[in-house]
Amino acid sequence: MHTVRTRAPQVFLSHRHSDRQIADRVRQWIEQTTAGHASKVFQSSSYAHGPKIGKHLSQELSDSLWHTDVLILIYTLSDLDWSYCMWECGVATDPSSRATRVVVLQFSDDAPAVFDDQVRVNARSKESLLQFASQFLTDGDFFPPGIGAITAFAPESPQLREAGTSLISSLSNIPPTKHEKVEEWPAWPFIRLRMSLDFSREISDLLTADARERILSETKIAFADWVVCSVFGVRKIAQECTLADLARGWAARAPRQNGLILSFHSYTWLPSGSSRL
């Protein structure tokens, strides 16, 4: 029975921008094998397939991730910074968003710990790439209900074998495990803070001075990237360190500075009874 497609499936390519060449090849393969119109592909590093000019970058990414059917994570070496890609995976798989299948396209022996128990695609294995091509193009349940198989290729058909061979050929000349470790400087330092939900509700009732002191003592560091560490002059910021501890340490190392000023870019309310800034 032929499935009546209700909409074009949406695919999101999550990757470090230093891996743009890989993302380009994966996107081109999808477009070529699906005749260029059977799916929508979002690639942030592509001028024609990424965020729109004049739009807010974070909102554009969030909107696309929220409506993604399949996210393909292009994963190279584990000792690189994957915090932004992991954020993209987190938004895409949020229980409140559209159901999303995450496919890890792995280019070395390294694998993201969060997907360690998941069946991944080994980009160095012909058999693994052929399996991915077959399931991506012909499985009726690879995408959500109402979409069906993305092509009309039959399993073991010449068209499917050609598509699989094309993917293998496209990715075959990318050096294994020898990607250049390009240091990427974020647009702004990224630090994730956590406070209790009960305390976040109390802040509005506090005077400005009291609120500042309570925020410093009640807020803990959940994550800080290497740029934040360099700003504060430390090699690493321990998790559960409070803002007050961070401020005191920074003041001791830089006594001539006037004070600590934090500008929060965004916040997310978590269902576990805590608030993440």
Residue 108 domain-assigned (yes or no): yes
Distances (CA, A) of 79 to 15, 75, 89, 197, 200: 15, 11, 18, 34, 35
Residues 202 and 167 in one domain: no
- Both 50 and 104 in one domain: the answer is yes
Asked if 45 and 105 sit in the same domain, the reply is yes
Boundary-marking domain end, from 141, 172, 203: 172
Interval 129-178: pLDDT, tens? 999 999 999 998 898 877 888 888 998 899 999 999 999 999 987 765 44
- Position 2 scores a pLDDT of 47
- 178 in a domain, yes or no? no
Contacts with 162 (C-beta within 8 Å, 6 or more apart), sequence order? none
Q: Which of 140, 120, 135, 133 is nearest to 26 (CA)?
A: 133
Which band of pLDDT confidence, cut at 50, 70 and 90, is reported for residue 120? very high
The answer to the question of residue 2 being in a domain is no
Length of the chain: 277
In this structure, the answer to whether residues 51 and 138 fall within a common structural domain is yes
Q: Provide mean pLDDT across the span 210-225.
A: 80
Condensed to tens digits (0 to 9), the pLDDT of residues 171-204 reads 987 765 444 444 555 556 677 788 887 777 777 6
Q: Please choose, from the candidates 233, 91, 156, the residue with its C-alpha nearest in 3D space to the C-alpha of residue 83.
A: 91
Q: Using N-to-C axis directions, what is the helix angle for 208-218 and 243-253, rounded to 10°?
A: 90
| 220 belongs to a structural domain | yes
Distance CA 63, CA 58 (A): 9
Q: Is 234 a member of any domain? A: yes
Does residue 184 fall inside a structural domain? no
> 49 and 107 share a domain?
yes
What's the whole-number mean pLDDT along residues 223-227? 76
Q: What tens digit of pLDDT does each residue of 17-45 get?
A: 889 999 999 999 999 998 765 668 898 88
Query: Does residue 146 sit in the same domain as residue 209?
Result: no
Residue 1 lies in a domain: no
Tell me the pLDDT of the chain averaged across its residues: 78
Residue at 50 is within a domain: yes
Cβ atoms within 10 Å of 257's Cβ, excluding its own: 10
Q: Are residues 157 and 21 in the same domain?
A: yes
Same domain, 95 and 18: yes
Check which CATH number belongs to the domain holding 57 and give it.
3.40.50
Shared-domain flag, residues 237 and 115 = no
Residue 1 banded pLDDT, cuts 50, 70, 90: very low
The predicted pLDDT at position 180 comes to: 46
- Structure confidence at residue 126 (pLDDT): 94
Judgement on whether residues 166 and 199 belong to the same structural domain of the protein = no
What is each CA distance from 239 to 113, 189, 194, 221, in whole angstroms? 18, 17, 10, 5
Print the domain residue range for 269.
191-276
pLDDT for 5 equals 56
103, 15: one domain: yes
Q: Look at residue 245 and tell me whether its pLDDT is greater than 90.
A: no
Tokens coding 16:
């470090």
pLDDT at residue 167, rounded to an integer: 95
Number of domains composing the chain:
2
At 46-101, the pLDDT tens digits run 765 655 555 555 667 788 888 899 999 999 988 788 888 888 888 888 888 888 99
Co-location of 85 and 145 in the same domain: yes
The DSSP bridge partners found for residue 192 are 223
More confident residue, 7 or 182: 7
